[in-house]
Amino acid sequence: MALTKETSASIVAKFGANDKDTGNTKVQIALLTERIKQQTEHQKNFPKDSNAKRSLLKVIGQRRKLLKYLQRTDLEGYRQLIKELGIRK
């Protein structure tokens, strides 16, 4: 269920300034989005797994807080990231 090193490295390379830029808000949001996608698939396969559902809700809350921060500090970057990740239609 966790992200593989290759997946995380590709996301960091795509959204970060360099390969070591894991603290960037956009990188963190992209990594959380990938985790949400994986956990959503798990939840579809195992609907009675309440621990996985709780962890999914926690990750969604973390991403929501980071998105609010990014919207407040860099509105244009926020709009571009939303469009690129396909989070909101």
C-alpha span between 4 and 50 (Å, rounded): 24
pLDDT of residue 64: 97
Per-residue pLDDT, 13: 92
Per-residue pLDDT tens for 3-18?
Answer: 899 999 999 999 988 8
pTM higher than 0.95 for the full model? no
Tell me the pLDDT tens digit for each residue of 28-87.
999 999 999 999 999 999 999 999 999 999 999 999 999 999 999 999 999 999 999 999
Q: Which residue has the tokens 């990750």?
A: 59
